[in-house]
Amino acid sequence: MIALTLAEIAEATRGRLELGDSPDMSETKVSGTVETDSREIKPGGIFVARRGEATDGHLFAPAAVENGAALLIVERPLEIAVAQVVVEDATEALGALATYVVRRVRERGDLKVAAVTGSNGKTTTKNLLDAILSRVGATVAPRESFNNEVGAPLTMLKLTEDTRFLVLEMGASGKGEITRLIRMAKPDVGIVLTVGLAHAGEFGGIEWTLKTKTEMVADLEPTDVAVLNVDDPRVNGMADKTAARVVRFGQSPAADVRADSVRVDTSGTSFRLLLPGEEPRPVQFRVLGEHHVTNALAAATAAHELGVSGDDIVAGLESVTRAERWRMEVLPGLDTAVINDAYNASPDSMAAALKTLAILGTEATRTIAILGEMTELGDLSGEEHDRIGLLAVRLNVSQLVVVGEGAKRLHLAAEKEGSWDGESRWVATADEAYDLVADMLRAGDLVLVKSSNSAGLRFLGDRLGELVSCKRF
């Protein structure tokens, strides 16, 4: 974080500074990282004691101090000999401090902020944009999927005086959450990837999802840029909902930034990148799956609007070897391979992963899809699992293994489609799936593991990856 005095932090968070026996410390500056997890605190850091659903952060304040916290942001004074800012709501104080820090760094004049949202692809696009922008200037981006009312402010608070670019991932579980994050950071570039059925159960349907994702561009100003996916009609329609200049990306000829000559193999995805007014550039993109070309185009478009050269954009894209841990991660074996994509799953991403598996399959390659539940779909869950089961059959996946009670309809739908005889198997647990697949594997197989995070199949994918790395079949 940029260096701030204790008094400035109290003012920014609308809190009361408690210094105990050292009242002259109000002008003392702190610049350590801000954390809500006491285990992450380093000497000089700031610990924000949030009250969560499962526990109370105040209980961990002593551990934070032991790890070197120089300041606590708390909702009640604690009997601990360290400076404290007492606030009404620690989560709101975290957001207020982030807003203040972004504003202070912006006053320097050269900070640019890019934010991304969408039903699918946010984390991948964030990582790609980070890789591109880091080539030309100091860049701060979220770790993992820090995209909510806690994770996004924590990312903003990593700004330093040297930061040139801030990349933010913005998710939401309800209306107004993206708006709050947008108003903290005031992005110069707002990116919308897709509007799909991910979290549709939480939002109450696709139309509510659309309204929520539109929040990304609704507050942008005429000097800002809205980067929209022209291939998604719902996203493309957001052009009428923003005052910002609109730049479109996609594979459609109507896109301002587009890709053509897309080819997919087990080493990744190749395509030609077409930037406005420039010659096509070949890209050897090592992230697997044609659907990730959308994310690459989004990152390329945002970077281009931020003044990055085409050569640096391509070099940044080509430097990324995987979307993210457990996202279309290829685990090569001695004579077979596993694609572990079991961190998140929506109907759209599940379909995209299966299509990639089918594209990679050949007459000499047996394709095995191990699929688990897609969560947070609400009333749409049954029919969407049915649809994926039918798709697996129509794509001629060689063997389907469905895991867990929540995904059972996927198996039943596949069984009823066509004349399959044992090509779809259902098991209750990941351990059963491991035993089943380990017994059936043979040389040349290509295995996809895909589910929502809560299904836990990412660890099954890792186990299978370890197996194929040391064993021939």
Provide the residue-wise pLDDT of the chain in tens; the chain has 473 residues.
999 999 999 999 999 999 876 777 889 999 999 999 999 999 999 999 998 878 899 999 999 999 999 999 999 999 999 999 999 999 999 999 999 999 999 998 899 999 999 988 899 999 999 999 999 999 999 987 788 999 999 999 999 999 999 999 998 777 889 999 999 999 999 999 999 765 555 555 788 889 999 999 999 999 999 999 999 999 999 999 999 999 999 999 999 999 999 998 878 899 999 999 999 999 999 988 888 999 999 999 999 999 999 999 999 999 998 766 667 888 989 889 999 999 888 898 899 999 999 998 876 689 999 999 998 888 889 999 999 999 999 999 999 999 999 999 999 999 988 666 779 999 999 999 999 999 999 999 999 999 998 888 999 999 999 999 998 88
The pLDDT of residue 203 is 53
The pLDDT of residue 129 is 98
Q: Residue by residue, what is the 3-state secondary structure of the chain? A: CCCEEHHHHHHHCCCEEECCCCHHHCCCEECCCEECCHHHCCCCCEEECCECCCCEHHHHHHHHHHCCCCEEEECCCCCCCCEEEECCCHHHHHHHHHHHHHHHHHCCCCCEEEEEECCCCHHHHHHHHHHHHCCCCCEECCCCCCCCCCHHHHHHCCCCCCCCEEEEECCCCCCCHHHHHHHHHCCCEEEECCCCCCCHHHHCCHHHHHHHHHHHHHCCCCCCEEEEECCCHHHHHHHHHCCCEEEEEECCCCCCEEEEEEEEECCEEEEEEECCCCCCEEEEECCCCCCHHHHHHHHHHHHHHCCCCHHHHHHHHHHCCCCECCECEEEECCCCEEEEECCCCCHHHHHHHHHHHHHHCCCCCCEEEEECCCCCCHHHHHHHHHHHHHHHHHCCCCEEEEECHHHHHHHHHHHHCCCCCCCEEEECCHHHHHHHHHHHCCCCCEEEEECCHHHCHHHHHHHHHHHHHHCCC
Give residue-wise pLDDT tens across range 34-81.
Answer: 999 999 999 999 999 998 878 899 999 999 999 999 999 999 999 999
The pLDDT of residue 20 is 75
Give residue-wise pLDDT tens across range 418-461.
Answer: 666 779 999 999 999 999 999 999 999 999 999 998 888 999 99
How confident is the prediction for the chain on average, in pLDDT?
Answer: 92
pLDDT above 90 as % of the chain: 77
Domains belonging to the chain, first-starting first, are 4-92 (3.40.1390.10), 108-319 (3.40.1190.10), 329-470 (3.90.190.20)
The pLDDT of residue 207 is 84
